[in-house]
Structure 1
Amino acid sequence: MLSPEQNKSGPSHPVGEDTESGSTSGGLGTGLTDRTERMTCSPDRRDVFDRIIGSDERMGKLRQTLTLLHGGGGTGKSRPMRMITLVLRQHGIDTVNTCPTGVGACHLVNGKTFHSAFKTFRKGNLNLGLLRLTLTENVGLIVIDEASMFCAEFLVLLDQRLWAIYNCDQVFGGRSLLLVGDFLQLEVTGGTPLCKGLYMTTTSDALLSARILFRLFSIYFLETQHRAAACAAQRSNISACRALPSFYPSGQRWTEEDAALFRPMPDAVVAALTNELTARDVENDQDWMDSLTILVTSSADKAILTSCTVQLFAKKQTNAFSLEKAAPAGFT
């Protein structure tokens, strides 16, 4: 098989921004809507937009690009995914937006789980007709969100599925791929992490194939914090959480000296992130009940939190009902 770099007919570098005119140098992204969407991007996100949208060989076709968009929480990874999907759709090019988890897929445009889109658990002779229901000739880009949860074995399976569907001598059937995620966040629930496959010692044919495929991707890093832009303390805490430890134990077991030296996160950051949430906090601020997103490790934890929230809500509604009954006639 040929790599994307060997197959593309355009320049060997990503299509970038013309700093004088502020427009893409050719490609699909030359229409008014495309330019408008592009200019709402921050410079780092604009590079990814230009690479994918500006990669056409001929009208309605994309030159293959393999891209990894890496960034921590709050750096704006979701926005370029939505914008790229919108602009490609306007040019008659479909995207298949997937995520390893059902919850993650719900947040994507026409999102699907990777397992359902590519029939990962079907063994033996796969009915290609099932895949073609999703993978039509109009598909030019496959997006995989939460790439840190996407195992190396599935990257090889994806290559096999796309090659079988599109009968093309390019990797991934000549289709573009966009992996989006943060390898310092969520881990795979099964299989081998993609990043680990790059350096681990292995004799597995699948992992060696995944290593070759993953090395074809160009990496773009997002570092500007958008979600916490207005809070310097939160930005500082996020940065500290993402900093790699300055010391790792050298042996198989931790010594007392190892434990004393291993400080991956300052105590001040730990204290800031582990304040106890009290019932009074929840009662005084309605957003704790209405707007907060909580990640839990099991359904049992979720059930406990839901039960507590329901009890607080019921108590609040009961008090309001009692006040309404006690109010004088004509009082609103």
Structure 2
Amino acid sequence: MSNVLEINDLVVSYRTARGHLTAVDGISLHLAPGETLGLVGESGCGKSSLGKAIVQLVEPSAGSIRVEGHDLSTRSRAERRALRPKIQMVFQDPMGALDPRQQAGTILETPLKLHGLRDAAARRARVATLMEQVGLRPEFIDRLPHEFSGGQRQRLGIARALALNPSVIVCDEPVSALDVSLQAQVLNLLRRVQQAQKVSYLFISHDLSVVEHIADRVAIMYLGKIVEVAPRSALWRTPAHPYTRALIEALPRTDPARHRIADKQVIGGDLPSPYNPPAGCRLHTRCPLAFARCAVEEPKLATIGDGHSVACHLHDAAVAKAA
């Protein structure tokens, strides 16, 4: 089955007061129908810039984004607008993403009006269905965003993302502003919606433990680069990149002995400046396993198993030694 989303060699750059910043540096990813791809990395690694480029909130500097086979980079402004319902976004801060002056019903009805649903009765029926779908009571339709709890506001944000029946939803840290119990409720809601509508998610998070509960595959991002992609179970069972291993080791566990990875390695120090990333492997300044080659040659993402790829010279060295 064809992928609903394909990203090839994508670059997102900004000119800021501090200089030129390449937030996303040559990333390629794909998303199958009904799949959830988790995208994980530290703050500042470029995750949100990637998500915003996909939903056309920022313009890529290079590369291509295909939605259901349509290459956005070759389409006119009008054609891209027509494709916008195919891919929607759930934002990290639901309060900041909702117009504080609009009632819930208006928030949900607006995208329907903008994209051609002229029948007012049909719009009201669709709004009622969306409210029910995300677990909001019908009488909440006249409430303003500040009258909802944090979890309810995020449900409203999810309902708005669903309004136009998208193929892909970019979830940008959708539960990071919620407490643990509300996180579980929202994650369960996203699963139910996915099962009912076969929508695909790019689920962006800095928290690998959240992604563990929802993703089918996981991509690990570091300073604008993808360093590992694997099916969820393979990533936890046999993480191949030192950065991935460190992220898993950092997770709190009720029984650390059961989850400990042999030969634990700790990634120390702070994330280097994205304005001046290190040469070679971008992790080498923090990696306890780095050797001379890491400082001068950038590792390429290479397949090491079924659906499992890693960008690390340690793997190259191990393959050469075995041969």
Task: Please state which band the TM-score falls in when normalised by the shorter chain.
Answer: 0.3 to 0.5
TM-score where L is the length of structure 2? 0.36
From the two aligned structures, give the one with the greater helix fraction: 1
Greater C-alpha radius of gyration: 1
From the two aligned structures, give the one with the greater strand fraction: 2
TM-score where L is the length of structure 1? 0.35
